[in-house]
Each structure stands twice: as structure tokens, then as C-alpha cells.
Structure 1
């Protein structure tokens, strides 16, 4: 398999995930398991409510999307960009240089900080969890 076909397949996977979310937004059920951390401990993981946020984004309800998870709308935009660039246009993504790794680290740190903030709101300040 050539490198280009591997990149193209990654783009199609991104488009597939986005399509599955769009189908779910239309009422087609997704057979996804629940969060194991939340099931076992009652504590939501850093990505809990991210799928619902992405679905709300696809419905055009940005307010609900941001209320559910701050990273939902950027996730939808990122998947769309990956899918368009790789799956449709067949272009490779640029190689991950040190600045790219720093960006991924910053996103991970942002997700971790956002998680701590949400846990503080939910369990210390008694703000209710999303339904």
C-alpha cells in the first residue's frame, strides 16, 4: 500500500465518523458503549458529553453544544477538515514538526484543564451534570 492511499484512508475514516454523527443527528441510533469511567466511578471522563456536543453542533445548536462540551464544535470542524483534505482532495497532511507536537500537547493540556474545571463545577459547586 502506498503512503498516499494510507492518508486517503485516514481521511475517509474522518468523513465516516462525521457521517455517523450526522446520521445520529437525524435520529439514527449509534451503537456506542457508555463511558466506562463514569459507569464505574460516577466521575465523567474528560470526553464525556463530547459526542452529544458534536451532535448539537451538527444540529446547528451552538449554545447547547458549548454547554455540553467546549471541544465539540472544534471536533466537528477538525473532522470535516481532515475528511475534506485527505478523503476528498487526496492531499497529505503536513508532517508533524515540533510545533505540531506542541499544539497537540496544548490541546491535551486544555482538555485536562477543562475537565478539572468541569469536575469542580459539578462536584464542588453543585452545578448539575448535563442530562
Structure 2
């Protein structure tokens, strides 16, 4: 049965794309170095939209969602109107934002913040999000903030 499924997938010609990033998870110091803003916020809504495509590529959907006021800020200031966004181009790198979930957000002062497997912005309930949050809290205390 497994062989049959593999043969069907190979013959189907469907495009699939893999995602690869370091297994090393970012640590608190890296967040403070890489991010202008670090905060925890809840995704309050979301919608699917079609992204613009280049001449040679077909359009792919994106998911865009609004963020609540942060429940915790580690660095920088939250900008009203900031939102999470991810492309759904068919790779395993994308992470579909889930309404109601809390996210550890790494922003750089832009209104759109990317969410993907290898990004610093991630849901608190996966990819060690809760562990990273604990490290950020400890780092903040260490700095006396």
C-alpha cells in the first residue's frame, strides 16, 4: 500500500516544496539582537487573501490576521495595526495562523509580521514557544527591566 501511494505521488507531477532550517532554536539573546520589537499578543481575526504574483508564477493565498494589544512587551513598542501574515505557497515552511492563539512576536517596526517554521515569530504552543518565553522573561529580569 505504501509503495502504491509513493508511485501515485511520483507520477502525479504535483509540486511540493520542502522546508529546512536549523534545528537550533533561537535563544533569548538572539531575540534581543534580531528583533526591534518583542511581545506576546493574541491573533484576534484572520482572512485568506490572494497574493500578487510575478509574471512567471501563479498567485498563492496568504493568511493575514490582526493582533490584540500585547499582554507582555519585552522590547520596543507595539504599533497599532500590526498583523501576522504568512504565504501559503505549498511549502512546509508556512504556519497557518490560528485565531485565538497567543504568539511570541518578533517585529521590526513594520505593519506585517511573517509567521513561518523558521521565523522568530511563533505560536506559544509549539516549537518550544513557551520555553523561549521563559528564557525571555529570565533575560529581562537579568537585565533589570
One fold, TM greater than 0.5?
A: no
- Rg comparison, structure with higher value: 2
Query: For the superposition of Structure 1 and Structure 2, which TM-score range results when normalised by the shorter chain?
Result: under 0.3
Scaled by the length of structure 1, what TM-score is found?
A: 0.25
Structure having greater relative contact order (Cα 8 Å, sep ≥ 6)? 1
- Between Structure 1 and Structure 2, the one with more helix by share is 1
- Between Structure 1 and Structure 2, the one with more strand by share is 2
Scaled by the length of structure 2, what TM-score is found?
A: 0.23
